[in-house]
Structure 1
Amino acid sequence: MASSDILLHSLTLTSFLLILFAVPIDSHRPRRCYESIISFGDSIADTGNLLILSDPNHLPHFALPPYGETFFHFPTGRHSDGRLIIDFIDCSEFLSRSLILMGEIGGNDYNYPFFAGKNVDEIREMVPLVINVISSAIRELVDMGGRTFLVPGNFPIGCSAAYLTMYQTENMEKYDPLTGCLKWLNEFAEHHNERLQIELNRLRKLYPHVNIVYADYYNVVLRLFQDPIEFGFMNRPLSVCCGAGGPYNYSPSRLCGDGVPYCDNPSKYVNWDGFHLTEHAYRWIAKGLLKGPYADPAFNSYCFDSKLQNSSPDKDMSLSL
């Protein structure tokens, strides 16, 4: 399949998933906050849309236990053991604005060629195409009235159990000695993120009346792998909670939800099923975005309710990397 076909296919089927949250307005608060949250993205942000679109007679693996077991206690269509990043961001009061979460977009566009065995240099040629799609979507939404956007970068995919399994090597120079992640894959993610931030800066100049926030998913997740014990994870948490086989407890032939075993305590793991993270990891990502320092420019935290603060430890995400 050509790069352009891959891009169109994955963006059409998995990227633009709309999630709208609405809660009552508190008329006693004078400050202006967001009226709603609108999220566009892939499985990282999908709270059940893909499940709804699935054939009920042939349910996908993420529709089966133990998905959802931590919070909901049953599968909801979320690709985790519980809640996602978007679930930890709800506004406590709304006036006239919406927060539009653009992604994470691009991950699946790179997953397809990587797992098809394409060369990394060939896949790098797709980066401008992916960035252009993200930019075009933002511009179209601005024309429709969007005024506040949260645009995530790519994750450190070199820390993904699926990638670590596929590209496992005895050459230890390929691995980060601190985290055990594959350096060259993380460098690819950094390249995408650098190009994305350049484009977002261009859009900020083009639309000075629009608030465009870059969500640094890469560094907040990398921080969890660099200092896992500080955030309540086990040491070297590269293995998946739900899976079986290989050094990372992941096998592409034995996916989570297909009857494979899963861990007793998902909160000790960063990786959930090989591609996705646990609820505990998503909570820390949300906190890193809302409380800093992984959103640029920073959020006005007044606009968000106390759910995130009350449900997570009082740990400072701003410690130096």
Structure 2
Amino acid sequence: MATLSLYSHSFFLLLILLPVIFNLQHHLTVAGGCQYPPVIFNFGDSNSDTGGLVAGLGYTIGLPNGRSFFRRSTGRLSDGRLVIDFLCQSLNTSLLNPYLDSLVGSKFQNGANFAIVGSSTLPRYVPFVLNVQLMQFLHFKARAIELASTSDPLKGMMVSESGFRNALYMIDIGQNDIADSFSKGLSYSGVVKLIPNVISEIKSAVKTLYDEGGRKFWVHNTGPLGCLPQKLSMVKSKDFDKHGCLARYNSAAKLFNEGLEHMCRELRIELREANIVYVDIYAIKYDLIANSTNYGFEKPLMACCGYGGPPYNYNVNITCGHGGSNSCEERSRFISWDGIHYTETANTIVAMKVLSMQYSTPPTPFHFFCGG
């Protein structure tokens, strides 16, 4: 009887997941018609770090990270692919190599990823904040163009000047600015006062990239911080919303997102030749939490990999991949992977919704960014 119940439950989850898989495959097929895969440069934090922390600092991120797709750890904080991986695949381009990875044979023809775990926008000049990532990009660009004018064999493995001009510039940062401010003991009003400074740093980065010839920008807002198992397990004063998330954290995230969207509107006017797409990641992720059963997820506020069991399975001293931690079975349906980052299953749904254009302003098909 127990076995029959398990099969019934698995079949039910499969029925829920199949439309999501087919929708994602459809978007990948449509966008995958890129005759010329684009060059992509990404700036951000752990939500889009494809191995920069490991490559740059030698930090150990072991299994079970990476177990679902790569079958090994790649430095991604997930059991598999991130949203940025799915977006790259949708344009028929290779997954982005971390800029700091010296072991990839300098193969950066399709761009580079400057995102690093823990990155924020402030304070400036502290590795690896947005400003530092931007300086790394400027060095990368100068060196690539320099090589292009020589007979160096590496020049064929780098981005050309036209590649930089036609590249897609993705920005996904700001979460740590808000989260770290709360963790340092700032009041809600104190965190809110910092938001304009964070927005200003992102705006400055976009303008610098524009001055360098960039014209295509893809800007993600931040997700519902108050729904992360890490925050829920560590915050003592808990002001829950109706879905069990921390209201103050989510309110601050929404205020940041409003400022970021306003910034994008301003820059579309100021930078006349720029295409700037704002993507509402918050709405997508909060919908996963609020309507988790519709997607077949159980315990939407509990980490798959961690320690402590229900309700959050998160312990700051025993985190995923470290001694004493445990992880759910590989086919389990969890939104949160390690209490902060999402599972590949959740990232699949997020990517599908991003590609749907329903959460993009202005609505823009992602294959608009195909190379040419």
Give the alignment of 1:138-217 within 5 angstroms: 138-169=206-237, 174-177=239-242, 179-217=243-281
Determine if contact 2:279/2:360 at 8 Å carries over to the other structure.
yes
Match of 1:92 in 2: 92
Determine if contact 1:154/1:189 at 8 Å carries over to the other structure.
yes
Deviation string 1:31-59 (CA, Å, 9 cap, x unpaired) is 8976222111111111011111124xxx4
Deviation string 1:233-270 (CA, Å, 9 cap, x unpaired) is 22x41100001116200011111110300000365111
Provide the C-alpha distance between the structure 2 equivalents of 1:217 and 1:266, rounded to a whole number of angstroms. Answer: 25
Determine if contact 1:98/1:148 at 8 Å carries over to the other structure.
yes
In structure 1, runs of 5+ residues without a counterpart are 1-28, 306-321
* Letter aligned with residue 44 of structure 2: G
Match of 2:55 in 1: 52
**What is the CA-CA distance between 1:110 and the residue it aligns to?**
2.1
* Letter aligned with residue 119 of structure 1: S
Is residue 304 of structure 2 the alignment partner of residue 241 of structure 1? yes
Say if 1:114 and 1:233 are closer, same or farther in 2 by CA, change over 3 A.
same
SS of the counterpart of 2:76?
A: coil
Say if 1:168 and 1:284 are closer, same or farther in 2 by CA, change over 3 A.
farther
Determine if contact 1:161/1:238 at 8 Å carries over to the other structure.
yes
TM-score (norm. length: structure 2): 0.67
Deviation string 1:109-141 (CA, Å, 9 cap, x unpaired) is 222222222212112121111101100000000
Say if 1:127 and 1:34 are closer, same or farther in 2 by CA, change over 3 A.
farther
Point out the structure with the larger helix share.
Answer: 2
**What is the CA-CA distance between 1:232 and the residue it aligns to?**
3.0
2:63 pairs, out of 56, 62, 65, with: 65
Provide the C-alpha distance between the structure 1 equivalents of 2:301 and 2:361, rounded to a whole number of angstroms. Answer: 28
**What is the CA-CA distance between 1:191 and the residue it aligns to?**
0.5
Provide the C-alpha distance between the structure 1 equivalents of 2:276 and 2:285, rounded to a whole number of angstroms. Answer: 21
* Structure ID, larger Rg: 2
**Greater mean alpha carbon deviation, residues 294-303 or residues 146-155:** 294-303
TM-score (norm. length: structure 1): 0.77
**What is the CA-CA distance between 1:303 and the residue it aligns to?**
4.8
SS of the counterpart of 1:39?
A: strand
Determine if contact 1:66/1:81 at 8 Å carries over to the other structure.
yes
**What is the CA-CA distance between 1:286 and the residue it aligns to?**
1.4
Determine if contact 1:78/1:84 at 8 Å carries over to the other structure.
yes
- Root mean square deviation, CA, Å: 2.3
Match of 2:77 in 1: 79
Provide the C-alpha distance between the structure 1 equivalents of 2:191 and 2:35, rounded to a whole number of angstroms. Answer: 43
Match of 1:110 in 2: 178
* Structure 1 ranges of 4+ moved more than 4 A: 31-34, 93-96, 301-305
Provide the C-alpha distance between the structure 2 equivalents of 1:121 and 1:293, rounded to a whole number of angstroms. Answer: 32
Provide the C-alpha distance between the structure 2 equivalents of 1:145 and 1:231, rounded to a whole number of angstroms. Answer: 42
2:200 pairs, out of 105, 129, 132, with: 132
Provide the C-alpha distance between the structure 1 equivalents of 2:354 and 2:49, rounded to a whole number of angstroms. Answer: 18
Provide the C-alpha distance between the structure 2 equivalents of 1:219 and 1:115, rounded to a whole number of angstroms. Answer: 24
* Letter aligned with residue 217 of structure 1: I
Is residue 360 of structure 2 the alignment partner of residue 292 of structure 1? no
Provide the C-alpha distance between the structure 1 equivalents of 2:234 and 2:358, rounded to a whole number of angstroms. Answer: 32
Provide the C-alpha distance between the structure 2 equivalents of 1:77 and 1:108, rounded to a whole number of angstroms. Answer: 19
Say if 1:277 and 1:148 are closer, same or farther in 2 by CA, change over 3 A.
same
